[in-house]
A and B are shown apart, each in its own frame.
Chain A
C-alpha cells in the first residue's frame, strides 16, 4: 500500500478568509490550489486541523468552492484548539491532515428524495451535501432541508439560508428553540418542523447531523413514518485523535468513527446509540 503522507503529517495550508458565523463559530476558507497535496474531501468527510503550537482537532468539511480550489471548515470555539482556529485570520497557516472517513451517501441518493436534518453546528457537515445536490440538481428528487438552531442569532450560513429560502430547488424549514426579537420564523424543536413535511418514505433517503439526542428523535420520527433504517444515515461524533483507526479513541462498539464513519447507516449502529457505556 502506497504511503500517503497527508494521513499522518499535517500539510500547511493558508487561510484565505475567516468569516464569523455567530458569537462562537467561524468559517475558515483554506487555499486548496492544485499544488496542495490535500484534496478537497467529499461531503460528510472531515480533516484534522492543527493549530500550530496548540493542538489538533477533527473538523468536518463544510463546503468546497465550485472549482474545488477552496475548502471550508466551520469551527465552533469550545476548547483551546478550536478557539485558536477561530482566531485565525487571512494569511495564517493551519496544518491539515485528511480528508478522512466515510461521507454522506451521495451516490445512493441519486434519483431519490433527499431529506437533510441538521441541528446546531451539525449544519456544517450537511452543507456540502446540499451543495452537491444543487450542483447536479436534475440527478436527485426533492431536496428537503430542516435546520434547528438554538436562536435566530445562532444560525450558521445566514446569507446562504436566505438564498435557499427563496430558491425553488429545495424546501427549507428553519426552526429555532428560542425565538424573540423580530424573528418571524418557526419556533419549536426541529422534529416538529420535519413532521409537517409531506414525505414519500419509499422514495426518500435521509441524512442527519447534530446532537445525538436530536438524531435519535429524528431517526425515530422517520422510522415511524415508514422509512427503512437502512435509508437513514447519521453522522457520529466521537473523540477523533489519530483519524486512521489506530489509537481507538473514537471506537464506537465495533466501529471506528474516524474510518468507518463519521457517516454511518442507522441500521448498523441502532443498537449502540442508547448504550451509555460507549
Chain B
C-alpha cells in the first residue's frame, strides 16, 4: 500500500515540489470520499481545509433564498478546491458540493499553516502553487461576468 507522500507525489500539484516538502505536507493530509450532493466546504466557515481532487466533479456555489444555488464554477480531477486557507482571514467564500462521487486528498490547513510559518521555504513553495490558481480563477470569473457569448457582446 502506498504511503500518503507517495500518493501526493503522483498528483500534478506535487510536480516540482521538493521531496522534503511533500513529506511535510503529507503529514497534514488524508484520503477522503464524498458522495454526490455532499458539502465539502461551507461559505463563511473557517477555511481549515483544502482539497486536491483526484476524481469526480465539485460545484462551487453561492446560495440565494430566492434563486437557490448558483454555480460559480465546477472543478474536476487534478484541480485544487479551497484557496482561502492560505490568505487571511482564512474564511471560505463559497459552498463546495460534490456533484458526483469525489475522491480527494484533504489537507488540514491549520496544521499546514503552522508548518509554513515554521518553514518559510515551504510557505513560499505553496504560495507559488496557489497564487496562479487564484489569478486564473479571477480571470475566468471576470470573463464570465462579461457575458461574452450573449447577443450583445
Contact = CB atoms under 8 A, between A and B. Distances in A.
Contacts of B137: 192
Contacts of A76: 151
Interface in A191-221: 191-192, 195-196, 210-211, 213-214, 217
Contacts of A195: 136
Nearest to B153: A211
B17 to A, nearest CB: 19
Given A192-B136, A192-B140, A217-B143, A177 B149 contact: yes
Interface string B45-86: 000000000000101000000000011111011110000000
B117 interface: no
A94 to B, nearest CB: 22
B99 interface: yes
B147 interface: yes
Nearest to B100: A184
A187 B79 contact: no
Contacts of B146: 213
Given A184-B99, A217-B139, A196 B149 contact: no
B76 A211 contact: no
Count chain A CB atoms within 10 A of each CB in B79, B139, B144 and give the residue with the most.
B144
B76 A186 contact: yes
Contacts of B77: 196
Given A217-B139, A217-B143, A188 B74 contact: yes
A187 B73 contact: yes
A173 to B, nearest CB: 10
A186 B143 contact: no
A59 B151 CA distance: 16
Count chain B CB atoms within 10 A of each CB in A76, A187, A196 and give the residue with the most.
A187
B89 to A, nearest CB: 26
A180 B144 contact: no
A119 B148 contact: yes
B74 A187 contact: yes
Contacts of B79: 196
Nearest to A192: B140
Interface in B94-153: 99, 136-137, 139-141, 143-144, 146-151, 153
Nearest to B144: A177
Nearest to A196: B76
A150 B149 CA distance: 5
Contacts of B141: 189
B143 A180 contact: no
Contact of A150 (B72, B78, B150): B150
A154 B70 CA distance: 18
B80 to A, nearest CB: 12
B140 A188 contact: yes
A148 B73 CA distance: 13
Nearest to A154: B149
26 contacts: A24-B151, A76-B151, A119-B148, A121-B149, A150-B147, A154-B149, A177-B144, A177-B149, A178-B144, A179-B71, A180-B71, A184-B99, A187-B59, A187-B73, A188-B73, A188-B74, A188-B140, A188-B144, A189-B141, A191-B139, A191-B140, A192-B73, A196-B78, A210-B148, A213-B146, A214-B148
Interface of B: 57, 59, 70-74, 76-79, 99, 136-137, 139-141, 143-144, 146-151, 153
